[in-house]
Amino acid sequence: MSPSAVTINDVARAAGVSKSLVSLTLNDRPGVKSETRERILQTAKELGWTPNPGARGLTTRRAYALGLVLRREPRTIEVDPFFAAFIAGVETVLSERGNVLVLTVVPDAAAEERAYARLAADKRVDGFLLTDLLAEDARIPLIERLGSFAVSLGAPPGGSPFPVISRDYDSGIDELVAHLVGLGHHRIAHVSGDERMLHGLRRRERFEEAARAAGLEPVVVPTDFSPEQGASATAALLDGEDRPTAIVYGNDPMAIAGMGVAHERGLDLPGELSVTGLDGSHIGSFVYPSLTTLDNDPAGFGLAAATALLRLVEDGEAADVALPPARLVVRASTAPPAR
């Protein structure tokens, strides 16, 4: 019998007990003698029994599922490795605990609100993972009103009743700008991401602070984080009168798109143009030249967020989590500018 086909009836027969005793034991309920409990658990383990989230939900009033609602263009998610790695980290935790992830992609704010309301009302999820925080994020009060739980990646300016998973990027951006200045770059541009999102805005602001601290006048071109707009911003910068010798991109996919534009124009990378990203995607180590970036570890974000949210759901409380700071990873895409 395959593990997926094992039922509590099978466990009951093999352990020589009633189905009700097996149900009490596997749902961690009182009323079962310790020696009987141990025998049932050992039998379930030997048979390879695994919990069915739907069946457990009927008795515990839990969905055994977490929700992730993404308001982004599908093409942006398709090419941004952050989400794949983040979801992999989430799934690592959920699969070990017999939970599942419910992923919904929506086009706009109205559809986003409907998705949260529907998932909460139908009790399809026990809580939500919040990414891409906004300066004034309506999702946090919405989830409060819905009586659900959440954790957020990053801290909203007004505070949050829910746990926050954070990573310090400021020191890494300072390192990155100092690295470029130390190589001799004085014309450094930043292709920023969507500045409606807190992480896009904060990365741009920190870049400007670090550039000014180094005696440079920052040049910023805002985009929506997509490779298409990253490529367009690169073309505009390269066509300008005072072409930069280095470009810092708001994420790695835009940096890779910018490198493609520079290669098409016959520029030597990094001799004529140094390029960096900011979010440490694994693919950046395989492009040519390999991409200087910050060590972000999106899977670690997913592990921490899922763990904190399950703790909040199960125990009613969970602490904020500060992940290790994002540090500079120097690869082959940065070098002294050509003289």
Domain ranges of the chain: 3-50, 65-167+299-324, 170-296
* H-only helix segments in 101-156: 109-121, 139-146
CATH number of 170-296: 3.40.50.2300
Average pLDDT over residues 193-218: 95
C-beta pairs of 21-24 under 8 Å, 24+ apart in sequence = 23/59
Q: Are both 65-167+299-324 and 170-296 of the same fold? A: yes
The yes-or-no verdict on residue 4 having pLDDT over 70 is no
Q: What is the mean pLDDT of the chain?
A: 91
Cα–Cα distance for residue pair 121/119, rounded to 1 Å: 6
3-state SS assignment for residue 137: coil
Topology (CATH) of 65-167+299-324: Rossmann fold (3.40.50)
Cis, peptide link before residue 270, omega less than 30° from 0: yes
Count of beta carbons in the 10 Å neighbourhood of residue 102: 15
Q: 35-76 pLDDT, tens per residue? A: 888 998 899 888 888 766 555 554 457 899 999 999 988 877
**Residue 30: is the preceding peptide bond cis (ω within 30°)?**
no
Secondary structure element (H or E) that encloses residue 53, with its range: helix 53-60
Q: Tell the burial category of 145 from Cβ atoms under 10 Å away from its Cβ (0-12, 13-18, 19+).
A: exposed
Q: Which two tokens stand for residue 218?
A: 């920052």
Pick from 77-81, 190-194, 298-302: least confident? 77-81
What is the bridge-based pairing of β-strands 149-153 and 164-167?
A: parallel
CATH topology of domain 3-50: 434 Repressor (Amino-terminal Domain) (1.10.260)
